Amino acid sequence: MSGEVQAAAVLGGLQESEQLEDSGHRGGRVRRQRIGLGDWLLPVYTVLAFVFLLIPIVYTLVFSFNDSIKSNISWRGFTFDKWLNVCNVEGGAVCEAFANSIVIGLVATVIATTLGTMIAIALVRYRFRARSSISLLLFLPMATPEVVLGAGLAAQFLAVGVPKDMTTIILAHTMFCISFVVVTVKARVASLDPALEEAGRDLYGSPSQVFWRVTFPLLVPGILAAALLSFALSFDDFIITNFNSGSVSTFPKYIYISASRGIPAEANVIASAVFLFALVLVIVAQVSRAARAKRLAKLS
Protein backbone atom coordinates (compact mmCIF):
# COMPACT_ATOMS: atom_id res chain seq x y z
CA MET A 1 0.00 0.00 0.00
CA SER A 2 2.37 2.71 -1.18
CA GLY A 3 -0.39 5.14 -2.05
CA GLU A 4 -1.74 4.79 1.44
CA VAL A 5 1.48 6.21 2.80
CA GLN A 6 1.27 9.04 0.30
CA ALA A 7 -2.31 9.74 1.25
CA ALA A 8 -1.50 9.73 4.93
CA ALA A 9 1.37 12.10 4.25
CA VAL A 10 -0.88 14.49 2.35
CA LEU A 11 -3.56 14.30 5.03
CA GLY A 12 -1.00 14.61 7.77
CA GLY A 13 0.35 17.67 5.99
CA LEU A 14 -3.12 19.18 5.85
CA GLN A 15 -3.68 18.72 9.54
CA GLU A 16 -0.20 19.67 10.58
CA SER A 17 -0.28 23.00 8.80
CA GLU A 18 -3.33 23.86 10.86
CA GLN A 19 -1.41 23.30 14.07
CA LEU A 20 1.61 25.17 12.80
CA GLU A 21 -0.56 28.15 12.04
CA ASP A 22 -1.84 28.17 15.60
CA SER A 23 1.58 28.08 17.13
CA GLY A 24 3.07 30.34 14.46
CA HIS A 25 2.76 33.47 16.57
CA ARG A 26 4.87 31.98 19.28
CA GLY A 27 7.71 31.01 16.95
CA GLY A 28 10.96 32.10 18.55
CA ARG A 29 13.93 33.65 16.80
CA VAL A 30 16.28 31.35 14.94
CA ARG A 31 19.54 31.08 16.75
CA ARG A 32 22.72 31.57 14.73
CA GLN A 33 25.43 29.10 15.50
CA ARG A 34 29.02 28.69 14.41
CA ILE A 35 29.47 27.49 10.86
CA GLY A 36 30.28 23.82 11.14
CA LEU A 37 29.57 20.42 9.75
CA GLY A 38 25.82 20.72 10.38
CA ASP A 39 25.52 23.83 8.26
CA TRP A 40 26.14 22.05 4.99
CA LEU A 41 25.49 18.44 5.94
CA LEU A 42 21.82 18.94 6.71
CA PRO A 43 20.95 20.85 3.49
CA VAL A 44 22.82 18.33 1.35
CA TYR A 45 21.14 15.44 3.09
CA THR A 46 17.75 17.13 2.71
CA VAL A 47 18.25 17.72 -1.01
CA LEU A 48 19.33 14.10 -1.51
CA ALA A 49 16.31 12.84 0.38
CA PHE A 50 13.96 14.91 -1.74
CA VAL A 51 15.64 13.83 -4.97
CA PHE A 52 15.25 10.22 -3.92
CA LEU A 53 11.59 10.76 -3.05
CA LEU A 54 10.66 12.74 -6.12
CA ILE A 55 12.53 10.88 -8.89
CA PRO A 56 9.72 8.33 -9.56
CA ILE A 57 7.14 11.13 -9.74
CA VAL A 58 9.26 13.26 -12.05
CA TYR A 59 9.97 10.20 -14.19
CA THR A 60 6.25 9.41 -14.47
CA LEU A 61 5.42 13.00 -15.36
CA VAL A 62 8.21 13.41 -17.92
CA PHE A 63 7.57 10.08 -19.65
CA SER A 64 3.88 10.89 -20.02
CA PHE A 65 5.10 13.25 -22.78
CA ASN A 66 7.29 10.59 -24.43
CA ASP A 67 6.54 9.82 -28.02
CA SER A 68 6.77 6.09 -27.31
CA ILE A 69 5.61 3.34 -29.59
CA LYS A 70 5.15 0.24 -27.48
CA SER A 71 7.20 0.26 -24.33
CA ASN A 72 7.78 3.53 -22.52
CA ILE A 73 11.35 3.04 -21.38
CA SER A 74 13.65 5.10 -23.60
CA TRP A 75 13.09 8.74 -24.49
CA ARG A 76 11.98 9.17 -28.14
CA GLY A 77 10.90 12.77 -28.31
CA PHE A 78 8.33 15.15 -26.82
CA THR A 79 4.62 14.94 -27.69
CA PHE A 80 1.21 15.91 -26.32
CA ASP A 81 -0.38 13.00 -28.20
CA LYS A 82 -0.61 10.68 -25.22
CA TRP A 83 -2.39 13.32 -23.15
CA LEU A 84 -4.82 14.19 -25.94
CA ASN A 85 -5.61 10.61 -27.02
CA VAL A 86 -5.47 8.93 -23.64
CA CYS A 87 -8.78 7.12 -24.13
CA ASN A 88 -8.25 6.13 -27.75
CA VAL A 89 -5.67 3.42 -27.20
CA GLU A 90 -6.44 -0.31 -26.86
CA GLY A 91 -10.14 0.46 -27.08
CA GLY A 92 -9.92 2.83 -24.08
CA ALA A 93 -8.78 0.12 -21.65
CA VAL A 94 -6.80 2.61 -19.52
CA CYS A 95 -9.72 4.98 -19.20
CA GLU A 96 -12.18 2.20 -18.44
CA ALA A 97 -9.93 0.88 -15.69
CA PHE A 98 -9.53 4.41 -14.32
CA ALA A 99 -13.28 5.04 -14.37
CA ASN A 100 -13.90 1.74 -12.56
CA SER A 101 -11.39 2.68 -9.89
CA ILE A 102 -13.07 6.07 -9.38
CA VAL A 103 -16.56 4.53 -9.08
CA ILE A 104 -15.37 1.81 -6.71
CA GLY A 105 -13.44 4.36 -4.65
CA LEU A 106 -16.40 6.73 -4.36
CA VAL A 107 -18.99 4.10 -3.47
CA ALA A 108 -16.72 2.29 -1.01
CA THR A 109 -15.78 5.64 0.57
CA VAL A 110 -19.38 6.76 1.04
CA ILE A 111 -20.40 3.45 2.62
CA ALA A 112 -17.26 3.06 4.77
CA THR A 113 -17.33 6.71 5.94
CA THR A 114 -21.00 6.58 6.90
CA LEU A 115 -20.74 3.28 8.78
CA GLY A 116 -17.33 4.12 10.26
CA THR A 117 -18.51 7.49 11.58
CA MET A 118 -21.51 5.88 13.24
CA ILE A 119 -19.31 3.20 14.80
CA ALA A 120 -16.80 5.80 16.00
CA ILE A 121 -19.47 7.93 17.71
CA ALA A 122 -20.98 4.87 19.37
CA LEU A 123 -17.59 3.65 20.59
CA VAL A 124 -16.70 6.99 22.19
CA ARG A 125 -20.06 8.16 23.48
CA TYR A 126 -21.75 5.04 24.76
CA ARG A 127 -20.79 2.43 27.28
CA PHE A 128 -22.04 -0.97 26.22
CA ARG A 129 -21.17 -4.62 26.59
CA ALA A 130 -18.14 -5.76 24.55
CA ARG A 131 -17.23 -2.18 23.68
CA SER A 132 -13.49 -2.64 24.17
CA SER A 133 -13.40 -5.96 22.32
CA ILE A 134 -15.20 -4.34 19.38
CA SER A 135 -12.56 -1.60 19.38
CA LEU A 136 -9.89 -4.25 19.24
CA LEU A 137 -11.61 -6.27 16.50
CA LEU A 138 -11.82 -3.16 14.35
CA PHE A 139 -8.04 -2.97 14.36
CA LEU A 140 -7.64 -6.49 12.98
CA PRO A 141 -8.19 -5.71 9.26
CA MET A 142 -5.40 -3.14 9.52
CA ALA A 143 -3.02 -5.60 11.12
CA THR A 144 -3.79 -8.56 8.84
CA PRO A 145 -1.65 -8.93 5.69
CA GLU A 146 -3.63 -7.91 2.62
CA VAL A 147 -2.86 -11.14 0.83
CA VAL A 148 -4.56 -13.05 3.61
CA LEU A 149 -7.57 -10.72 3.67
CA GLY A 150 -7.93 -10.84 -0.10
CA ALA A 151 -7.58 -14.61 -0.32
CA GLY A 152 -9.94 -15.14 2.60
CA LEU A 153 -12.61 -12.97 1.05
CA ALA A 154 -12.20 -14.60 -2.34
CA ALA A 155 -12.66 -18.02 -0.74
CA GLN A 156 -15.81 -16.82 1.03
CA PHE A 157 -17.31 -15.35 -2.13
CA LEU A 158 -16.57 -18.61 -3.90
CA ALA A 159 -18.10 -20.67 -1.11
CA VAL A 160 -21.28 -18.62 -1.05
CA GLY A 161 -21.37 -18.56 -4.81
CA VAL A 162 -21.23 -14.82 -5.39
CA PRO A 163 -19.91 -13.95 -8.85
CA LYS A 164 -16.93 -11.58 -8.76
CA ASP A 165 -17.61 -8.16 -10.22
CA MET A 166 -17.75 -4.49 -9.17
CA THR A 167 -19.98 -5.34 -6.20
CA THR A 168 -17.50 -7.76 -4.68
CA ILE A 169 -14.70 -5.22 -5.13
CA ILE A 170 -16.78 -2.52 -3.41
CA LEU A 171 -17.64 -4.92 -0.56
CA ALA A 172 -13.97 -5.79 -0.10
CA HIS A 173 -12.83 -2.16 -0.16
CA THR A 174 -15.58 -1.06 2.23
CA MET A 175 -14.47 -3.76 4.62
CA PHE A 176 -10.88 -2.61 5.00
CA CYS A 177 -11.70 1.12 4.75
CA ILE A 178 -14.10 1.04 7.72
CA SER A 179 -11.26 0.34 10.15
CA PHE A 180 -9.33 3.39 8.98
CA VAL A 181 -12.42 5.59 9.11
CA VAL A 182 -13.25 4.47 12.66
CA VAL A 183 -9.73 5.18 13.89
CA THR A 184 -9.64 8.62 12.26
CA VAL A 185 -13.13 9.78 13.29
CA LYS A 186 -12.82 8.33 16.79
CA ALA A 187 -9.95 10.69 17.56
CA ARG A 188 -12.09 13.63 16.51
CA VAL A 189 -15.13 12.50 18.53
CA ALA A 190 -12.99 11.98 21.60
CA SER A 191 -11.65 15.54 21.40
CA LEU A 192 -15.17 16.98 21.16
CA ASP A 193 -16.32 18.67 24.39
CA PRO A 194 -19.53 16.86 25.46
CA ALA A 195 -20.70 20.20 26.93
CA LEU A 196 -21.23 21.47 23.37
CA GLU A 197 -23.88 18.85 22.70
CA GLU A 198 -25.38 19.46 26.12
CA ALA A 199 -25.55 23.17 25.31
CA GLY A 200 -27.37 22.25 22.10
CA ARG A 201 -29.90 20.20 24.04
CA ASP A 202 -30.21 22.92 26.65
CA LEU A 203 -30.96 25.46 23.89
CA TYR A 204 -34.06 23.55 22.76
CA GLY A 205 -32.35 21.39 20.11
CA SER A 206 -34.00 18.00 19.57
CA PRO A 207 -31.57 15.06 19.33
CA SER A 208 -31.50 15.17 15.51
CA GLN A 209 -31.08 18.96 15.45
CA VAL A 210 -28.22 18.73 17.92
CA PHE A 211 -26.55 16.08 15.78
CA TRP A 212 -26.83 17.92 12.47
CA ARG A 213 -26.18 21.43 13.74
CA VAL A 214 -23.60 20.84 16.45
CA THR A 215 -22.02 17.37 16.42
CA PHE A 216 -21.78 16.80 12.68
CA PRO A 217 -20.31 20.19 11.66
CA LEU A 218 -17.69 19.79 14.38
CA LEU A 219 -16.82 16.28 13.16
CA VAL A 220 -16.59 17.31 9.49
CA PRO A 221 -12.79 17.82 9.43
CA GLY A 222 -12.31 14.32 10.85
CA ILE A 223 -14.90 12.79 8.54
CA LEU A 224 -13.35 14.49 5.49
CA ALA A 225 -9.90 13.27 6.43
CA ALA A 226 -11.31 9.76 6.86
CA ALA A 227 -13.09 9.93 3.49
CA LEU A 228 -9.93 11.11 1.70
CA LEU A 229 -7.92 8.38 3.35
CA SER A 230 -10.41 5.69 2.45
CA PHE A 231 -10.69 6.91 -1.16
CA ALA A 232 -6.91 6.88 -1.48
CA LEU A 233 -6.74 3.39 0.03
CA SER A 234 -9.41 2.06 -2.28
CA PHE A 235 -8.07 3.79 -5.39
CA ASP A 236 -4.64 2.23 -5.28
CA ASP A 237 -5.43 -1.10 -3.70
CA PHE A 238 -4.16 -3.92 -5.84
CA ILE A 239 -3.79 -7.05 -3.77
CA ILE A 240 -7.29 -7.41 -2.33
CA THR A 241 -8.81 -6.16 -5.59
CA ASN A 242 -6.92 -8.72 -7.63
CA PHE A 243 -8.40 -11.56 -5.58
CA ASN A 244 -11.97 -10.32 -5.76
CA SER A 245 -12.41 -8.57 -9.09
CA GLY A 246 -12.99 -11.39 -11.56
CA SER A 247 -12.72 -9.87 -15.03
CA VAL A 248 -13.30 -6.27 -13.90
CA SER A 249 -10.29 -4.04 -14.49
CA THR A 250 -9.17 -1.33 -12.10
CA PHE A 251 -6.36 1.14 -12.60
CA PRO A 252 -3.73 -0.59 -10.40
CA LYS A 253 -4.73 -3.95 -11.87
CA TYR A 254 -4.39 -2.61 -15.43
CA ILE A 255 -0.91 -1.26 -14.73
CA TYR A 256 0.18 -4.48 -13.09
CA ILE A 257 -0.99 -6.56 -16.01
CA SER A 258 0.47 -4.25 -18.64
CA ALA A 259 3.79 -4.05 -16.81
CA SER A 260 4.68 -7.49 -18.16
CA ARG A 261 4.61 -6.22 -21.73
CA GLY A 262 5.72 -2.63 -21.15
CA ILE A 263 3.56 0.01 -19.49
CA PRO A 264 1.97 2.32 -22.06
CA ALA A 265 2.53 6.08 -21.76
CA GLU A 266 -1.24 6.47 -21.22
CA ALA A 267 -0.76 5.01 -17.75
CA ASN A 268 1.79 7.73 -17.07
CA VAL A 269 -0.74 10.29 -18.27
CA ILE A 270 -3.41 9.11 -15.84
CA ALA A 271 -0.94 8.80 -12.95
CA SER A 272 0.40 12.30 -13.64
CA ALA A 273 -3.11 13.69 -13.86
CA VAL A 274 -4.04 12.18 -10.48
CA PHE A 275 -0.84 13.55 -8.96
CA LEU A 276 -1.40 17.04 -10.37
CA PHE A 277 -5.02 17.00 -9.22
CA ALA A 278 -3.95 16.16 -5.66
CA LEU A 279 -1.28 18.86 -5.82
CA VAL A 280 -3.83 21.48 -6.93
CA LEU A 281 -6.15 20.44 -4.08
CA VAL A 282 -3.41 20.88 -1.50
CA ILE A 283 -2.37 24.25 -2.93
CA VAL A 284 -5.96 25.53 -3.02
CA ALA A 285 -6.50 24.41 0.58
CA GLN A 286 -3.31 26.14 1.74
CA VAL A 287 -4.03 29.37 -0.13
CA SER A 288 -7.59 29.61 1.13
CA ARG A 289 -6.45 28.90 4.67
CA ALA A 290 -3.80 31.61 4.46
CA ALA A 291 -6.38 34.04 3.09
CA ARG A 292 -8.77 33.22 5.92
CA ALA A 293 -6.06 33.64 8.55
CA LYS A 294 -5.23 37.03 7.04
CA ARG A 295 -8.87 38.07 7.12
CA LEU A 296 -9.21 36.97 10.75
CA ALA A 297 -6.03 38.79 11.68
CA LYS A 298 -7.43 41.94 10.13
CA LEU A 299 -10.68 41.56 12.11
CA SER A 300 -8.92 41.37 15.44
Partner 1 sequence: MSVSVREFAERGADLELVGIQKRFPGFTAIEELDLTIPAGSFFALLGPSGCGKTTTLRLVAGLEEPTRGRILIGGTDVTETKAHQRPVNTVFQSYALFPHMSIIENVAFGLRRRRIGDADARAHEALRLVELDHLAQRRPAQLSGGQQQRVALARAIVNRPALLLLDEPLGALDLKLRRQMQLELKTIQEEVGLTFLHVTHDQEEAMTMADTVAVMNKGSIEQMGAPEQLYELPRTVFVANFLGQSNLFTGRVAGTTDTAIAVDVQGTRLVVPTTRAARHQGEVTIGVRPEKVALHRDAPAVSPSRNVLGPGHVIDVSFSGVSTQYIVSITGVGTVTVFAQNIGIGPIASEGDEVWVSWDVEHGFGLDDDPADAGKFAADDDTHAIAVQRREALVAELEES
Report if residue 201 touches partner 1, rule: CB under 8 A: yes
Report if residue 288 touches partner 1, rule: CB under 8 A: no
Report if residue 193 touches partner 1, rule: CB under 8 A: yes
Q: What sign results for the dihedral spanned by CA atoms 132, 133, 135, 140?
A: positive
Binding mask 230-269 toward partner 1 (x if CB under 8 A, else -) reads ----------------------------------------
Residues 6+ away with beta carbon under 8 Å from 55: none
Q: Which of 117/230 has CB closer to partner 1?
A: 117
Contact 16, 282 (CB under 8 A): no
Contact 150, 240 (CB under 8 A): yes
Amino acid at site 116? G
Report if residue 202 touches partner 1, rule: CB under 8 A: yes
Among 52, 126, 128, 204, binds partner 1 (CB under 8 A): 204
Stretch of 182-190, 212-220, 249-257, 274-282 lying at the interface with partner 1 (CB under 8 A) = 212-220
Among 54, 158, 198, 287, binds partner 1 (CB under 8 A): 198
Report if residue 21 touches partner 1, rule: CB under 8 A: no
Q: Which of 51/220 has CB closer to partner 1?
A: 220
| 3-class secondary-structure state, position 259 | helix
Q: What is the DSSP string of 50-105?
A: HHHHHHHHHHHHHHTTB--SS---S---B-SHHHHTGGGSGGGHHHHHHHHHHHHH
Q: How far apart are CA 121 and CA 114, in angstroms?
A: 11
Report if residue 218 touches partner 1, rule: CB under 8 A: yes
Q: Which of 155/196 has CB closer to partner 1?
A: 196
Q: Please report, as ranges, the residues that interact with partner 1 according to CB under 8 A.
A: 193, 195-196, 198-206, 209-210, 213-214, 217-218, 296, 299-300
